Amino acid sequence: MKIIITDSYAASCREAANLLLSVVKSNPHACLGLATGGTAQGVYPHLVEAYKQQLVSFKEVRTVNLDEYIGLKPDHPQSYRHYMDTYFFDHVDINPLNTYIPSGSQLVQPEITNFSRILEIWPRDVQLLGVGVNGHIGFNEPGEVLQAGVHVATLDEATIKANARFFASEAEVPKTAITMGVGNILQAGKIVLLATGSQKAAVLQKLLTSDEVTTQVPCTLLKLHRDVTVILDRELARQVGVSSRFTE
């Protein structure tokens, strides 16, 4: 596992974007696994800027997103389809038919089947991740067991509280979401996890300073992957107690 420490959250976003861009530059037909949320938001302007400077083209790139809230239509301001269009897709030359975000407004079981099929026929070269305050990746919340494949997850109370800042009130936050399972995430060729904020320190300690793998802290399952890069800013690294290094 590689740990990259930067001077700031902004620098971390630039580092994560550069890793994604390097994948696309080496393979113009790459498939990118993408994430949403507050932490990932800072990554996309760098991808857009690289396109505007003609440093990269997304014309042949395919993308698959981690998850989507159940009950939100694609044009809802807080849907992840709206997020991706707003921060990335609408500003580059990507073919909309080459982007996949699971639908939260379709019948659930057919959408699970469709999502699972997409993940089979569009293998991801790299998967961008954030991490929740409870250690979730995607919407794989802590529990006695975790699901390997695509499923509908019930959001943890900590996740609902954390996401309430994007809605008018906590009551408006959807309580369920369709998400990649942990097994799906681990199928990506590379994984890039971006983290910031002192509230993430405890779960990052479990990931980066312990050999323990536990479903109670889902991000610890990333230790089972052969190619993971964790990017965090210097202040968070200090709180976690890590330095830039490769770990085996």
pLDDT tens for residues 186-217? 999 999 999 999 999 999 999 999 999 999 99
Q: Which of 15, 46, 65, 67 is catalytic?
A: 67
Widest pairwise Cα distance in the chain:
48
Annotated active-site residue 93? The verdict is no
Q: Residue 240 burial by CB count (10 A; 0-12/13-18/19+): exposed, middle or buried? A: buried
pLDDT computed for residue 159 by the predictor: 84
CA distance 71 to 213: 33
pLDDT computed for residue 246 by the predictor: 47
Instruction: Tell whether the model's pLDDT for residue 174 goes beyond 60.
Output: yes
Mean pLDDT of 15-39: 97
pLDDT computed for residue 12 by the predictor: 97
pLDDT computed for residue 247 by the predictor: 45
Annotated active-site residue 125? The verdict is no
Annotated active-site residue 29? The verdict is no
pLDDT digits (tens, 9 = 90+) for 73-120: 889 988 999 999 999 999 999 999 999 999 988 888 999 999 999 999
Annotated active-site residue 67? The verdict is yes
Q: Which of 125, 141, 156, 233 is catalytic?
A: 141
Give the pLDDT band (50/70/90) at residue 157: confident
Q: Does the predicted model carry a pTM greater than 0.75? A: yes
Give the pLDDT band (50/70/90) at residue 245: low
- Residue ranges of E strands in the chain: 2-6, 31-34, 62-65, 67-69, 99-100, 126-129, 151-154, 176-179, 190-195, 228-233, 245-246
DSSP assignment string, 188-232: SSEEEEEE-SGGGHHHHHHHHS-----TTSGGGGGGGSS-EEEEE
CATH class, 2-240 region = alpha beta
CB atoms < 10 A from the CB of 47, how many?
24
Q: Which of 15, 136, 151, 156 is catalytic?
A: 136
Q: Which of 65, 134, 140, 163 is catalytic?
A: 134
